[in-house]
Amino acid sequence: MQLPEAFIKKYSKLLGEEAPAFLQSFDEEATRGFRVNPLKAQTKPLDHSIEDAIPYCPFGYYGSVSGKTLDHQSGLIYSQEPSAMYVGEVAHPQPGDKVLDLCAAPGGKTTHLASYMNQSGLLVSNEINRKRAGILAENVERFGLQNTIVTNESPDTLEKHFPEYFDVVVVDAPCSGEGMFRKDHEAVQYWTPEYPLSCANRQKKILQSALKMLKPGGRLVYSTCTFAPEEDEQNIAWLLQTYSDLWVLPIKKYPGMDDGRPEWADNNPELAKTSRIFPHKMRGEGHFIAQLQKQPSESTVKDLKPQKSNVSKAQKQDWHKVADKLLVNPIEDARLLAFGDYLYAMPGNLPDLTKLQVIRPGVNLGVFKKNRFEPSLPLALSFKPTDFQKPVLITQEQWQNYVHGDTFSVVDVENGWHVLISHELTVGFGKVVNGVVKNFYPKKLRFEIKN
């Protein structure tokens, strides 16, 4: 790879004897990885090997992901660069926590955080870019998250709605992307010597908003995919100089992980508690991770005004005609939210969202059509097979027909809506009419598998 001369000069000076091995690593292939979704009933992939485990992530593995597989379509696996997985491991929220993923697209950190929350608490996944927020919502839905909302706001707008609210805030900040040069060669083209400092200034503004939303005693996890000290140690040094109620929490270092470099900032020894991942020392791309805690306070954080259901009596009737025959346990009517023609199940105790740009206010249950309700793919993916009444088991061949948009036949199945199960994984809904499964797999997601 042809690296900018200024980049080579900068890191040759910073890394000294390490520089040749570091610079040579850019000529090697990028490392690929994926996580297995622990929220699914079946957790062993069918089409992807789990023999090469990532040591610092209990459900992480090295390897590439094929999108045209049952593993991927059902949300059983999620493709993520291995180094980036350590951010979710450091954050490691608990079930019941209130968590904010402030710069969340495309969804790797969000799905990782949710893996530890066991569908409880609240996870707000925010992305400022509208198009990327849409991609984020799609990944959240495929992973089957019930406790997650997706917002499309700037951090300074979001801070007004969630004052000192979250137990954990993750800021995987937009950065100069030096650590992704091997994975994304275009990132090399827009790098300049001044770019890291420009990114650092933007990151400080994001961090200011993040801290306003972090409750006393809460944890802030800051990460970048760059090597630049301006965006890494120097930003943490700035935080410690600016906020007297913050301190750095140590991060466990696995073999190959480096301490942060205090000498690259203001020589504060606390910076060594942060973590650096270099591609010449680890099987992964470049990453920096810091964990800080806000000083606990005796003051009580006020609960925010809850989001109220706005579903009409007629809509509830249409929903229950389908849901009462599909689900083993009903969803509380108080959690139902009409969003245009779509019906969502909000996470419990969701704050009022009416003044926010929301992409996904919970689980997309389906869509209201004239005098009827049609269940959605996200409803199927968000629950386990045991959560549904009378599921229909389909073969691998039938699953291939399903994702291609074809109908197929079943035997001894009553008419009506049924969740479809393949290899103990929910894959979607079909409507059975006289032994034929009518296909309702979304047209934009359909694909063909060539044997």
Q: How open is the CA angle 313-371-367, to the nearest 5 degrees?
A: 80
105 in a known ligand binding site: yes
107 in a known ligand binding site: yes
284 touches 81 (CB < 8 A): yes
47 in a known ligand binding site: no
Tokens coding 284:
């992964």
Exactly one of 57, 175, 199, 225 is catalytic; which is it?
Answer: 225
From the centroid of its chain, how far is CA 367?
25
Q: What is the DSSP letter of 388?
A: B
Q: SS3 helix, strand, coil % of the chain, rounded to 5?
A: 30, 25, 45
Peptide bond into 330 cis (omega under 30): no
109 in a known ligand binding site: yes
How many CA atoms lie within 13 Å of 416's alpha carbon, on the beta-carbon side?
11
Cα–Cα distance between 354 and 185 in angstroms, integer? 41
345 in a known ligand binding site: no
What is 298-353 written as a DSSP string?
Answer: SSPPPPPPBPPP---HHHHHHHHHHHHHHBSSPPPGGGEEEETTEEEEPPTTPBP-
Task: Give one word for 217, left, alpha or beta, with left for phi > 0 and alpha for psi -120 to 50.
Answer: left
Beta-strand pair 425-433/342-345: unpaired
Query: Is 225 annotated in the active site?
Result: yes
Selection from 367, 370, 368, 369 nearest residue 379 by Cα: 367
Backbone angles phi, psi at 397, to 5 degrees: -65, -40
DSSP-based three-state secondary structure for 431: strand
Residues 6+ apart with CB under 8 A from 38: 59, 115
Cα–Cα distance between 125 and 148 in angstroms, integer? 7
Helices (H) and strands (E) in the chain, counts: 13, 22
314 in a known ligand binding site: no
172 in a known ligand binding site: yes
267 touches 241 (CB < 8 A): no
104 in a known ligand binding site: yes
127 in a known ligand binding site: yes
Tokens coding 24:
């040579």
337 touches 319 (CB < 8 A): no
Supply the residues annotated as catalytic.
225
Q: Which residues are annotated as a binding site?
A: 103-109, 127, 172
Q: Enumerate the known binding-site residues for S-adenosyl-L-methionine.
A: 103-109, 127, 172
